[in-house]
Amino acid sequence: MAHTVLLVDDHRILRDGIRAILEHTGEFRIVAEAEEAVEGLRLCRKHRPDLVLMDIALPGLSGVDATAEILRHCPDAKVTILSMYDDEHTVVGAIRSGARGYVLKKASHHDLLEALRIVARGGSYLSPEVSDRLLNRIQRGDGDAHSVSSVVSGLSPRETQVLRLVAEGKTSKEIAVLLDLGLQTVRTYRKTMMKKLGVCNVAGLTQLALAAGLTRLPAVARQDAPASLASPG
């Protein structure tokens, strides 16, 4: 069954393009469209969509404020922000409002679809540029643990366990033994986490785990293979 989607954006030509992209897959069905936030809230309460794709720059109420209002009235909806802004203030504000995804408008349609698929499964997605800025903020020592925790909370319990162990410097082989999992299963978890969190190496995973308070232990520079999406752990 296709995921139902409410699309909120004040540009008709953009909505038309997004509708064509989503409905072409057969995985998503647009149930309503709105040009501004108040109308989006009304339509969300009427249609109760699975997903809300929300522009951040809307007439009147902003997409960030609208996200908080939508989730107050429709807590089961999963909101993904669509934005041209990649600054830290805007991104953190969107995360705090309850958004599960943040996709830049310059992203490809493949990235948009991947984001919505991840969010629909209960995960979180940040465009890579957005994730890089958040990690840089953490590395400077002024990261917001609550915001980071909101992103990390999109992981499954098992993925969270693996993330904590990665941050503690454990190799994939060690994690497999500790959790009684196959080595390839652990590598798959690591690859999936990187996609969900928008990072491309172990250092990025470690920074997010530390910032989210999953571990207080310093990361140990140990890897059993070069860390990348292609061959994690």
To which residue do tokens 């969010």 refer?
Answer: 119
Assigned CATH for 143-211: 1.10.10.10
CATH architecture of 3-123: 3-Layer(aba) Sandwich (3.40)
Q: What is the Cα–Cα distance from 19 to 30, expressed in whole angstroms?
A: 7
Q: Give the helix, strand, coil percentages of the chain, each rounded to 5.
A: 50, 15, 35
Would the pTM count as exceeding 0.75? Answer: no
**162 near 173, Cβ under 8 Å?**
no
The mean-pLDDT minimum among 5-14, 104-113, 141-150 falls in 141-150
Q: Would you mind telling me the total number of residues written for the chain in this entry? A: 233
Which residue type does 7 have?
Answer: L
Residue 151 region by backbone torsions, left for phi larger than 0, else alpha for psi between -120 and 50, else beta? alpha
Report the DSSP pairing between strands 78-83 and 101-104. Answer: parallel
The CATH 3.40.50.2300 domain(s) of the chain lie at 3-123
To which residue do tokens 């292609």 refer?
Answer: 230
The CATH 1.10.10.10 domain(s) of the chain lie at 143-211
What is the reported pLDDT for 146? 58
Q: What is the mean pLDDT of residues 168-172?
A: 84
